[in-house]
């Protein structure tokens, strides 16, 4: 089954404790991206990757890191989480370039930073 898998789905952590949210897709997509969802703001892009070893900042990259060492994986790293990073996070992927434009989303990761 074609899917984007995120882990963990739920996480409560404390300020400053490094954490990683993993993302894996099995559709051989070149493009992968991370979004955060906050009430009234919709989803905003954090980082994206056009292919292996190619990453770039989105609209709200502060406090986050990413890496793309393999095509299927695109982890999101919070080196020193702060309460303002409490949010719902989505990983998404698609074929690069001109196509139908549809993004395929993971099931979301609810992160709470105390």
Partner 1 sequence: AQTVTQSQPEMSVQEAETVTLSCTYDTSESDYYLFWYKQPPSRQMILVIRQEAYKQQNATENRFSVNFQKAAKSFSLKISDSQLGDAAMYFCAYRSGEAGNKLTFGGGTRVLVKP
Could you list the residues that contact partner 1 (CB under 8 A)? 31, 33, 35, 40-45, 48, 50, 58, 88, 90, 92, 94, 96-98, 100-103, 105, 107-108, 110
Name the minimum Å distance from CB 110 to partner 1: 8
Name the minimum Å distance from CB 113 to partner 1: 19
Residue 96 contacts residue 111 (beta carbons within 8 Å): no
Report the DSSP pairing between strands 104-105 and 87-94.
Answer: antiparallel
Name the minimum Å distance from CB 40 to partner 1: 5
Name the minimum Å distance from CB 42 to partner 1: 4
Number of CB atoms found within 10 A of residue 21's CB: 21
From 102, 111, 114, select the one nearest 22 (Cα to Cα): 111
Report the DSSP pairing between strands 109-113 and 10-13.
Answer: parallel
81/106 with CB nearer partner 1 = 106
16/98 with CB nearer partner 1 = 98
Q: What share of the chain is helix, strand, coil (3-state, %, to 5)?
A: 5, 50, 45
59/79 with CB nearer partner 1 = 59
């Amino acid at each position: 089954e074609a899917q984007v898998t995120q882990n963990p789905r739920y996480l409560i952590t404390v300020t400053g404790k490094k954490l990683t949210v993993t993302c894996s897709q099995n559709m051989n997509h070149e493009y992968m991206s991370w979004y955060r969802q906050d009430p009234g703001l919709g989803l905003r892009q954090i980082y994206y990757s056009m292919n292996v070893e190619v990453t770039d900042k989105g609209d709200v990259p502060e406090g986050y890191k990413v890496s793309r060492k393999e095509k299927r994986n695109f982890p999101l790293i919070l080196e020193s989480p702060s309460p303002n990073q409490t949010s719902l996070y989505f990983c998404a992927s698609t074929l690069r370039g001109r196509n139908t434009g549809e993004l395929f989303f993971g099931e979301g990761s609810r992160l709470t930073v105390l």
